[in-house]
Amino acid sequence: MRRQASRGRKPAGSSCVERLDPFSLPVRFTTGDAGADGRMRNIELQRERVIVQRCVRGIPMTLKLAVGDFLGVALRIIRKGKAAAVYVTLEHPDPGLSLPLYSASNTDNVVAEWQSWARTLRRPLLIADDSGRLHDLFPRVGEVRLGQISPRRRRRTAMKGRRPSMAWRRRRGLERKRVHRGEREIIARN
């Protein structure tokens, strides 16, 4: 995976792995594609859509995909002999359209990258097992993630009888006081 702007070079003085930044979208980059001419494709990743440009058998094509069509942001560990590499990918039901977002040989920042991409693109966290199948990290019903239910608020507390705090924060509007001139004041005394 290499960025188009840096033309495959690392920034001067940088010893870190080149990566895409989830907080500076839209991002344009070039990545490998086994089915395309030249085995490369250009990708523009935005918050709401993905634009894939490639050339197959001399025919240029542009695919515009909604980010909502993707399954989620997956974490994959690929072993090559004794060495292992960690990949964060945006997974599509068609494996040929899945996009690599981050790759590294060490696992120092991979969880932070994984969660950042999922939060930025608003897609669920997925994890790939050894056979390559994807699983949800957290159980979900549709787009809603299931979790612990917060405890019910107790009703018999010292705080029950107090005034709502919203009334304390509310500013009083400009009220005009009525002035009654020339009238006698009636005062009731016991």
**pLDDT for 128-163, tens place per residue?**
888 878 878 776 666 666 667 777 666 666 666 665
Q: Which residue has the higher pLDDT, 64 or 2?
A: 64
**Dist. CA 75–CA 79, nearest whole Å:** 13
**Dist. CA 152–CA 173, nearest whole Å:** 36
**Dist. CA 22–CA 74, nearest whole Å:** 15
The confidence score (pLDDT) of residue 50 equals 92
State pLDDT tens for residues 64-109: 999 989 988 998 888 887 888 888 889 999 888 888 888 888 777 8
H or E element at residue 168: helix 165-169
Is the overall model pTM greater than 0.95, yes or no? no
Q: Which residue has the higher pLDDT, 122 or 150?
A: 122
- Domain ranges, ordered by start, for the chain: 2-9+17-130
Q: Which residue has the higher pLDDT, 10 or 144?
A: 144
**Dist. CA 27–CA 120, nearest whole Å:** 13
